[in-house]
Amino acid sequence: MKKTLLTILLALCSATAHAGTTKVNMGASLIDAQDLTSNINIEHIHEKDRVRQEYEFEHLYQHVTGKVGKNDFYGLAKANYALDKKNYVLGVVKYEYDHFLRNQHNAVAAVGYGHKILRTDVLRVSNELSAGVMRTDTDTKPVLRNSLWVRYDDKRYVFINKMLVEYTDFAYVRNQTELGYKVTNKVTFGLRHVYTRNTERKSNVTLFNLGLTL
């Protein structure tokens, strides 16, 4: 299942790679001069008329004193269709892999509704509610999802927070935060924090981050 879903996500990204905006984030931190955490995140956005397509891939690796502490993959493909200036419908496919969980593979497919809560020259806030199906190594179950997205972006600074909560027989949480300083229009340097929580463990990873807009 892992290979199939990754193939689908990569194919979707390739289909729109000729247009839109691509951002690459590379992060790393060193703990006690020996424990290394590294991260690469690639986002591609393509907009045309009423349709907005978003693709994201992330790999997080953590080495903790002689062993692998984390080896996670995250992939997402999402399409929005605007109903008017503030409302849209959406379809989303998400895949996650965590080597250290009992259920290593987690895939979600959902459809839903999004609302642009706030739009100014520098601040954007949106919320999305969707419902669908979650597939793990052991079962398939219905899922209800809520995603809140905040972005502040001026001439010098950018702040992004994406919070996702998925409800099945448990609550899964993923919160991704970025704070950056724009060195140029194409280069950003700052901090990136990724928090996840599921039935088996919590994870907090903070990294120094270099962002490149292609």
Q: Is the pLDDT of residue 175 over 80?
A: yes
The answer for residues whose C-beta is within 8 angstroms of residue 112's C-beta and 6 or more apart is: 89, 90, 92, 128, 129, 130, 131, 132, 145
Q: Assign 75 a pLDDT band (cuts: 50, 70, 90).
A: very high
Least confident of 9-23, 38-52, 84-98, 141-155: 9-23
pLDDT on residue 101: 75
Least confident of 47-56, 68-77, 131-140: 68-77
Mean pLDDT, range 86-104, rounded to an integer: 89
Closest CA to 70 of 97, 94, 95: 97
pLDDT on residue 202: 82
User: What SS3 state is found at 145?
Assistant: strand
Q: What is the spatial distance between Cα 122 and Cα 21, in angstroms, rounded to a whole number?
A: 18
Q: Is the pLDDT of residue 12 over 50?
A: no
Mean pLDDT, the chain, rounded, equals: 87
Q: Is the pLDDT of residue 16 over 80?
A: no
Q: Looking at per-residue confidence, does 37 or 49 come out higher?
A: 49
pLDDT on residue 198: 81
Mean pLDDT, range 98-126, rounded to an integer: 92
Q: Fold for 2-213, please state it.
A: Porin (2.40.160)
Joined together, the tokens standing for residue 54 give: 């978003």
Read off the pTM. Answer: 0.83
pLDDT on residue 68: 62
Q: What is the spatial distance between Cα 123 and Cα 162, in angstroms, rounded to a whole number?
A: 14
Mean pLDDT, range 103-129, rounded to an integer: 95
Mean pLDDT, range 196-207, rounded to an integer: 82
Closest CA to 31 of 181, 204, 197: 204
Place of tokens 């250290």: 100
